[in-house]
Structure 1
Amino acid sequence: MYFYIRRARRPITRDEAAASVGISRKLAAFHLDKLVDVGLLRADYQPLPGTRRVGRTPKVYRPTELEIRVAIPQRSHDVLTEILLETVLTGAEGEQARDAAVRVAGEIGERAEFPEGGIEGFLERHGYEPEREAGGRVRLRNCPFHPLAARSPELVCRLNHAFLGGCVTGSGMRAELSPRAGECCVELRPA
């Protein structure tokens, strides 16, 4: 129903939504109101063109601009996208693209903020699945940049290493390349 409403580009009634997936109006209303509760749809009452004005004005639904992505395990290319964009915008003349991207990755990491949960909370929110081990090491059990890292491990791991190295600047930790199958290529160790 959600995709039907997005494609319609006009307000959709409960009856239309129900018919689009072949369920009852009551069941459609239940699911539509759940989509409103989570912010994916907006509902209001509005007369529709070409309808008679008998009874209550129908409740209609339209999509919001809320974006939702689901990936298990978590994958997020936002950091790599930011690195790429800033590299293109700030690359110095004569600077090699890879070198510029590594420089920018470190700078973006240094600007990272860790308000809740410190560095580990930050890493968790970005999909790294950090796990503290003996001796203060932090293993990153998930690579949020997979499958891009699988496609170009030397480049993506180098950017990730620079980014995480920037993140831990001044924290008493250091980022080290330590690739393991099925995990992030970087681990954090006490400096």
Structure 2
Amino acid sequence: MSTAGGRRRDVLAVLREADEALSIAAIAERLEVHANTVRFHLDALLEAGQVERAVVQPAKPGRPPQLFVATRAMDPAGPRAYRLLAETLVDSVARSGDPVTHASASGKAMGAQLGRPRQAAAQDEPVGQLVELLDELGFAPEAQGARIGLRHCPFLELAQVHPEVVCPVHLGLMQGAMEEWEAPVTVDKLTPFVEPDLCVAHLTGVSS
């Protein structure tokens, strides 16, 4: 018995192999399934952008049948390998002559970009805005005076292999946001893994 995902792939495969647009009845006949089954999967494929309705001129009076074709594009619902890409890029930076400087600069650029929409709010509460930003990125931050504890690393596996790249990116990200906000507070350093589940960002300029 075919699963829903498997049947959906079957419908898409029939359309990709066809030389012309097909009706629901034609697809159902080729797959030997009920038309309602085809209609159900076509709705999902249309929503995912993998299938589109064909525009045809009716050959005779009356309502023409709906015809469908496979979208000629890469499958937007296909598998992803972002971790492999991240590993490749991190390894490339690690092999450079000065990985810390390169990683820090990249982090600062990203921090400035991410911090820009928060610039107005950050004028009064830069530390609070930084904590919110870090929380959105998955760091599970905990503000503690002149320190921000980070209870989670979104790039843990990469940080364990190449801390000389990933940790400067994180530090640069925080510094870049603060610089974008022209905040009186700066992130002086990041101490990774002071505990198995804790990294600490150290702030300067925080009023007591």
Q: TM-score, normalised by structure 2?
A: 0.51
Aligned position for 1:111: 112
Encode CA deviations 1:119-144: one digit per residue, 9 max, x unaligned: 3454344x324334443754333322
Q: Secondary structure at the match of 1:143?
A: coil
Match of 1:33 among 43, 48, 54: 43
Asked if the contact 1:161–1:186 (Cα under 8 Å) also holds between the matched residues in 2, the reply is no
Asked if the contact 2:104–2:171 (Cα under 8 Å) also holds between the matched residues in 1, the reply is no
Give the CA RMSD over aligned residues: 4.8
The answer as to 2:171 corresponding to 1:161 is yes
The answer as to 2:71 corresponding to 1:62 is yes
Encode CA deviations 1:47-104: one digit per residue, 9 max, x unaligned: 6xxxxx7951423342666857999xxx7977x95x999x7xxxxxxx9332441352
More helix, by proportion = 2
Structure 1 pair 164–4 and aligned structure 2 pair: CA distance change class (3 A):
farther
Q: Within 5 Å, give how 1:7-156 maps onto structure 2.
A: 8=16, 16=27, 24-37=34-47, 39-46=48-55, 56-62=65-71, 96-109=97-110, 111-114=112-115, 115=117, 118-125=129-136, 127-135=137-145, 137-156=147-166
Q: TM-score, normalised by structure 1?
A: 0.55
Asked if the contact 1:77–1:144 (Cα under 8 Å) also holds between the matched residues in 2, the reply is no
Which range moved further: 6-15 or 108-117?
Answer: 6-15
Structure 1 pair 26–46 and aligned structure 2 pair: CA distance change class (3 A):
same
Structure 1 pair 57–70 and aligned structure 2 pair: CA distance change class (3 A):
closer
Asked if the contact 1:105–1:159 (Cα under 8 Å) also holds between the matched residues in 2, the reply is yes
Cα separation, 2, equivalents of 1:147 and 1:136: 28
Cα separation, 2, equivalents of 1:134 and 1:149: 23
The answer as to 2:197 corresponding to 1:187 is no
Letter in 2 for 1:98: P
Encode CA deviations 1:104-161: one digit per residue, 9 max, x unaligned: 2354145324325843454344x32433444375433332223222222233223322
Letter in 1 for 2:177: C
- What runs of 5+ residues in structure 2 fail to find an aligned partner? 1-7, 122-128
Structure 1 pair 28–111 and aligned structure 2 pair: CA distance change class (3 A):
same
Shift of 1:2: 5.5
Structure 1 pair 131–163 and aligned structure 2 pair: CA distance change class (3 A):
closer
Q: Secondary structure at the match of 1:144?
A: coil
Asked if the contact 1:45–1:60 (Cα under 8 Å) also holds between the matched residues in 2, the reply is yes
Letter in 1 for 2:106: A
Q: Secondary structure at the match of 1:168?
A: helix
Cα separation, 2, equivalents of 1:3 and 1:119: 48
- What runs of 5+ residues in structure 1 fail to find an aligned partner? 48-52, 88-94
Q: How many residues align?
A: 169
